[in-house]
Amino acid sequence: MSLYPFTPQGVADFLTSLYASTDPNLALEAAAVESDFAAYVADHFDLTSEQEAYLTAMPETAKSYLGDRCGFCFTHRLPIELIKPAEPSGSYSKIIETKDKTQTQIIPPSTFIVSGSFIIEIIYTP
């Protein structure tokens, strides 16, 4: 399997391909990202060794949160947007900020409406 570039366009292309798959396959992919977010990202995107190390070193609670949100978006074919500027030269710190813009409506007895998106933004600070 070829890896997607870890760029906003690479994430968009990955999701376009993923969301064209069947519901059962999408459920498997959602379960996989929920189970191990870091491994899922490393298995599907072309990461540098530094990016892999950063991903691995993230707190487990953060990886669990990201996996849960991405799995939810996969299941409902919701957009996930990566905002990632070019890495600056010199020394810098990296912050990951998320914005969960998903919304749900529950209309008994059997309607569950899901909309919105999930944004993952990488911020570089001097």
Supply the pTM of this predicted model: 0.94
Mean pLDDT within 93-117? 97
d(CA 83, CA 119): 7
Q: Does the pLDDT at position 1 exceed 80? A: no
- The contacts of residue 105 (CB under 8 Å, 6+ apart) are 111, 112, 113
pLDDT of residue 30: 99
Per-domain residue ranges of the chain: 4-125
Q: 46: how many CB neighbours lie within 10 A of its CB?
A: 13
Say what the pLDDT of residue 72 is.
99
State residue 109's pLDDT score: 96
Mean pLDDT of the chain: 97
Place of tokens 């998903």: 102
pLDDT tens, position by position, 57-94? 999 999 999 999 999 999 999 999 999 999 898 888 99
The residue to which tokens 């870890």 are assigned: 6
